[in-house]
Structure 1
Amino acid sequence: MRKGLSASAVLALLAFPAHGETLTLTLDRGIAATLEMPAGHGRFPAVLMFHGLGSSRDEVGIIFADTATALAMDGIASLRIDFRGFGKSDGDTGAFTLERQNEDAAIALQALAAMDKIDAERIGLMGFSFGAGAAIELAAAQPETIKSLVVWAPVGNYHDDMLDSLGQRAFDLAERDGIVGLDLGWRTMALKRDFFDGLNRHDLLAALRAYDAPFMVVNGSDDPYRKYTPALMQAAAGAEKRALVIEGGDHVFHVYTPSRSLAPEVIEATVERFRDTLGKTR
């Protein structure tokens, strides 16, 4: 049994083989990706998935991998990537910047939309934590392409979030030395001054004001990032927007504590949202 899926989910997979194939790809610039396809023929709606800072394409507790499986069972394809410098992608982690993250996001979208079995008219985006910012900015940059946006525990202000998370000392060290080593709690990494210098150049609320398609934000009730939800909801330009609170959930929905994990609830709500806003296979 694959870790992360419940016994009932595995039985469902066996009883209803609606999941097609899982392909490991390498996109432009050495970006590692996983394409998850439903079974059958036709052109599928698809979801592009962006992980958080310091993470990788399957995400914590393999919650992205499990979401991709659930989407495929519902007739929706997905592509999840490792941003350069993370997971299996090429690149130096220390050279990570918001500009490079956004470039990787655009490369992934172009690759997904060009695939033969993907309906380029029905593409959605989702992002987790820091990766939610990449999803928001890509949706704002290409609103005609992105038909639905779902963000989990999203950052709402890059600069303020990094200042709260890392403290002023990290900013000062990056300014003085050009690079700073960080302990994120689940991994260590180094970031260069270019990363810190770019934080104020990206306004996520302004980006959301340029996006008027369906938008949904999901937070645990105990997630400190929930503080950003009111501003995000106010900024979202579309009429079809929703804020979902997962009661008892923390920033990662307790995926590290299987007995308390709220991942199934988050996944179910996300799949339902994309089903409603993107539809199924044509």
Structure 2
Amino acid sequence: MKIPSIRCLALALLTALPAMAGESALTLDRGIAATLSMPEGDGPFPAVLLLHGLGSTRNEIGNIYVDKAEALAANGIASLRFDFRGFGKSDGDTGEFTLDRQNADALIALEALQDIDGVDPERIGVLGFSFGAGAAIELAAAQPQAVKSVVVWSPIGDYAADMLDSLGQKVFDRAAEDGIVGLNLGWRTMALKQDFFDSLFTHDLYAALTEYPGPFMTINGADDFYLKYAERLRDAAAGTDKKGMVIDDADHVFHVYTPSKSVASQVIELTLDRFEETL
């Protein structure tokens, strides 16, 4: 018996759903929960795939991805955001999460987005936030013909070094000793197995960017601890259309938890302008 491909499974699910304005809840292959946002009209529309950070969900902190999707739709751009497996409402558990599985989920979502009625598969961009920026970069590197533009917010630059810095050596040691470690990230708890920690050392974002020739843009707050990576990431990208924006008085999460200081609307506007320009 011939086993259907991931792309065929996603297509079978989504072709039954008509293109419609507003937001629709979808379930992609492998139980990935997603939200499709479509503009008014018939299309075909350009579209953006939104990839969330580690421990987050498809709506992202402060619902910034909800606001981003609304801004895109109001300006004639569709979007798809989803929960990586083990997070939010998607199937699976965090203990099985690795960078390879993250990248596989991103590809499933990209192929699903390409097959949605009303979306122009030739004009798809990708947005990634923090840890999810790494997934955006690797997806573009693996699918340079499909991904026409990439924007990354507060992008991670070195998976292993950054996780070691944020989690500490004791966490790495406990995972190596016990095979699994429980984490309290402050906003959620999760468990990660040794496979996750091993995968951190096998993915090079700078090497990946040399495989992506399309438009690439970084957006960081001036007080973002990952700002140190932005210039090197842009330099590594193979294309010539590369931009970097630094927002004054903003931190890694653009102060979304401090409404009086939030610059989320500025980040959303800059990103919208970029995708309108490049898709």
Q: Do Structure 1 and Structure 2 share a fold, with TM-score over 0.5?
A: yes
- Determine the C-alpha separation between the residues in 2 that align with 1:199 and 1:121: 32
Residue-by-residue CA offset, 1:208-255 (whole Å, 9 max, x unaligned):
011110000000000001011121011011100001001111000000
Root-mean-square deviation (CA, aligned residues, Å) is: 0.9
Residue-by-residue CA offset, 1:122-177 (whole Å, 9 max, x unaligned):
00000000000000000000001100000000101100110110111111110000
Offset at residue 21 of structure 1 (A): 1.3
- Other-structure match for 1:110: 111
- Other-structure match for 2:3: none
Offset at residue 185 of structure 1 (A): 2.4
Is structure 2 residue 213 aligned with structure 1 residue 218?
A: no
Offset at residue 259 of structure 1 (A): 1.0
Residue-by-residue CA offset, 1:15-60 (whole Å, 9 max, x unaligned):
xxxx921000000000000000000112000000000000000000
- Other-structure match for 2:274: 273
Mapping for residues 51-62 of structure 1, pairs under 5 Å: 51-62=52-63
- Determine the C-alpha separation between the residues in 1 that align with 2:98 and 2:260: 36
- Determine the C-alpha separation between the residues in 1 that align with 2:247 and 2:126: 20
Mapping for residues 164-203 of structure 1, pairs under 5 Å: 164-203=165-204
Q: Could you list the runs of 5+ residues in structure 2 that have no partner in the other structure?
A: 1-19
- Determine the C-alpha separation between the residues in 1 that align with 2:191 and 2:263: 31
Residue-by-residue CA offset, 1:59-116 (whole Å, 9 max, x unaligned):
0000001000000000000000100000010001111111110000000001000111
Q: Could you list the runs of 5+ residues in structure 1 that have no partner in the other structure?
A: 1-18
What amino acid does structure 1 have at the position aligned with 2:123?
Answer: R
- Determine the C-alpha separation between the residues in 2 that align with 1:164 and 1:236: 25
Offset at residue 184 of structure 1 (A): 1.6
Secondary structure of 2:48's partner? strand
Secondary structure of 2:226's partner? helix
What amino acid does structure 1 have at the position aligned with 2:205?
Answer: L
- Determine the C-alpha separation between the residues in 2 that align with 1:30 and 1:137: 22
Secondary structure of 1:201's partner? coil
- Determine the C-alpha separation between the residues in 2 that align with 1:269 and 1:142: 24
- Other-structure match for 1:21: 22
- Other-structure match for 2:265: 264
- Determine the C-alpha separation between the residues in 1 that align with 2:243 and 2:43: 30
What amino acid does structure 1 have at the position aligned with 2:174?
Answer: L
- Other-structure match for 2:86: 85
- Determine the C-alpha separation between the residues in 2 that align with 1:116 and 1:263: 30
- Other-structure match for 1:127: 128
What amino acid does structure 2 have at the position aligned with 1:217?
Answer: T
Higher mean C-alpha displacement, 194-203 vs 184-193: 184-193
- Other-structure match for 2:6: none
TM-score by length of 2: 0.92
- Determine the C-alpha separation between the residues in 2 that align with 1:117 and 1:251: 34
- Determine the C-alpha separation between the residues in 2 that align with 1:172 and 1:213: 39
- Determine the C-alpha separation between the residues in 1 that align with 2:170 and 2:101: 24
- Other-structure match for 1:140: 141
Runs of 4+ in 1 over 6 A off after TM superposition: none
- Determine the C-alpha separation between the residues in 2 that align with 1:269 and 1:259: 20
Secondary structure of 2:46's partner? strand
Secondary structure of 1:229's partner? helix
Secondary structure of 1:224's partner? coil
- Determine the C-alpha separation between the residues in 2 that align with 1:183 and 1:256: 19
**Identity percentage of aligned residues:** 67
What amino acid does structure 2 have at the position aligned with 1:206?
Answer: A
